[in-house]
Amino acid sequence: MDGSPATILIVDDLPANRLVLERQIERLGHRGLSVENGQRALEALRVERIDMVLLDIMMPVMNGFETLEVMKGDPSLAHIPVVVVSALNDVENVARCISLGAEDFLFKPVDRVLLEARIESCLSRKRLHDREQAAHAAAEAANAAKGRFVSLVAHELKSPITALIGYTDLLTHSGEQPPTPFQQEHLLRMRKLGTLLATLIDDLSDLSRIESGHLQLSPRPLALAAAARAAVAALEGELKARRQRLRVEIPADLPLVWGDDIRLNQILLNLLGNASKYTPDEGEITVVAVRRDAAVEVTVRDTGVGISPADAPHIFEPFYRARSAAVTRQPGSGLGLSITRHLVELQGGRIWFTSEPGVGSAFTFSILMLPADLTRGAVDAAWPADLTLR
Ligand code: ADP
C-alpha cells in the first residue's frame, strides 16, 4: 500500500451514499469497494486485502456495532482501521462505536476535506502496522533460518567429535599397546578438549531449540535423591582431582518431583560443575534439598570465588562470563546458566543465587512436587521401576 492506491471498503445500505463515497475516494486516488451491510463487509474483508473501512451504523442484516464487534474480536481483522459514518444527531451511537474500537467518525453528508484527512491518517497508521508486521515476519523467518542452521551445524559437528572421543578412549584402553605416561597424559587432554567441544555443541543446539520454542520436555515423577546421585557420580573424578569435599543433604522422605530426568540432570550437572570450576582446590560444595510449599528447593553452595555485584545482573545472559582471572582460566562458554534457567522455568520452577566475592555462592532452583491428582497408587502403577526411593 506504501504510496500506492489503497482499497477502502464502504459499508452502507443506501446505494446513493455508497456512490457518493466511492466517487470521493476515487478522486483521492484510491479504490472504493461497496457492500450493503455488515455481513457482506465481513465476507469482503476475508477475501480482499482491505486497508480501511467506512462503516454506516444503522443497516439491516448486520449493523455497524455487530460488524465492529466481530472485526475487533478477530485477530486477522482487528488492525484494519474503521471510520464510522453516521447522521449528525447520532453522537451517542458514534461514542459506542468508538468504545467498540472504531478509529474515528464522520458525519453525513460527508465533507470532502474531512474525509481526505481521515483517510490519510488511517492509512498512515495502517502503513506503519503493515511495515511492523513485515519486519516481524522477516525477523521470525531469519530466526527460524538461524535455528535450522545451528541445528544442522551442531548435528554435523557432533558425530565426528563423538568419534574422536571414541578413538582416544580406544587408544587409552585397548590394551594392545599400552600408552606411555606421556601419551596417556596427552590422550587425556585430547579427551577433555573433545568433551568440552561436544558440550559446547550440545549447549548451542539447546539454546537454539529453547529460543525457537522447540525444546520438548517429558516430565514424570522423579526422585531428587537419585538425580543428585547421578550428577555427583558424573562429576566425581573432577571433584577428586581438585580434592574438593562434597556434602549432599537430601532428606529420605522428600516428596517426588515432577520433571524431565535428562533436563534435571543437566541442571544439577551445570550447577555442580560451576561450583567445582569456580571453587579453589580443597574447597567445599554442598547440595541441600528442602520442601517448600508445592515445590522442592535445591541449593548448590560452594566456597569459591563468588560473583561480584557488577557481574551479578548478567550471569544468566547467554555467553556472559565474569572477567576475573579465576573465571577466565576455567573452560566455559557462558551458556550453562542461561540454559539452566530456561530448563528450570520450562519445568515450572525458578532459579536464583546469593554470593559474596571471595567467600562463595549458593544457587537455588525450585522444581514442582508431583501434582496432587497423581496419587501414589497411580504413580506406582505407571512407573514402578523408577521409584527406588529410600
Ligand atoms: P560458564 O561456566 O561456561 O562460563 P555459565 O553460564 O555456567 O557459563 O556461568 C556464567 C558465569 O557466571 C560464569 O562465567 C561465572 O562468571 C559465573 N558463575 C557461575 N557459577 C558460578 C559459581 N558457582 N561461582 C562463581 N561464579 C559463577
Distance CA 8, CA 5 (A): 9
Distance separating the N- and C-terminal Cα atoms of the chain: 69
Distance CA 316, CA 293 (A): 25
Classify 368 as helix, strand or coil. strand
pLDDT reported for residue 185: 94
How is the chain split among helix, strand and coil, in percent rounded to 5?
50, 15, 30
CB 61 within 8 A of CB 39: yes
361 lines ligand 1 (CB under 6 A): yes
Low-confidence ranges of the chain (pLDDT < 70): 1-3, 372-390
Q: Given the CA of residue 339, which atom of ligand 1 is nearest to it?
A: 6
Cβ neighbours of 149 (radius 10 Å):
11
Pairing, β 82-86 against β 104-107: parallel
Nearest to 304 by CA among 362, 220, 367: 362
Distance CA 326, CA 272 (A): 17
pLDDT reported for residue 372: 66
The grid coordinates of residue 330 equal 576455567
Q: How far is the CA of 49 from the centre of ligand 1 (A)?
A: 52
CA 115, 121, 122, 123 dihedral sign is positive
362 lines ligand 1 (CB under 6 A): no
pLDDT reported for residue 1: 53
CB 288 within 8 A of CB 298: yes
10 lines ligand 1 (CB under 6 A): no
Distance CA 14, CA 18 (A): 6
Q: How far is the CA of 212 from the centre of ligand 1 (A)?
A: 24
Distance CA 161, CA 170 (A): 14
103 lines ligand 1 (CB under 6 A): no
Q: Given the CA of residue 337, which atom of ligand 1 is nearest to it?
A: 6
What would the pLDDT profile of 342-381 be if each residue is shown by its tens digit? 999 999 999 999 999 999 999 999 999 987 655 454 444 4
The grid coordinates of residue 201 equal 555443541
332 lines ligand 1 (CB under 6 A): yes
Q: How far is the CA of 319 from the centre of ligand 1 (A)?
A: 10
Give the CA count within 13 Å in the CB-facing half-sphere of 8: 31
- Phi, psi (5° rounding) for residue 296? -110, 135
Instruction: Tell how far CA 263 is from the center of its chain.
Output: 16
Distance CA 321, CA 332 (A): 8
- Phi, psi (5° rounding) for residue 318? -60, 140
pTM to 2 decimals?
0.69
The grid coordinates of residue 320 equal 556472559
Cα angle vertex 134, ends 131, 138, to 5°?
Answer: 140
Pairing, β 257-259 against β 220-222: antiparallel
337 lines ligand 1 (CB under 6 A): yes
Distance CA 243, CA 232 (A): 14
Distance CA 327, CA 203 (A): 19
Longest dimension (CA), the chain: 102
pLDDT reported for residue 3: 64
pLDDT reported for residue 201: 93
340 lines ligand 1 (CB under 6 A): no
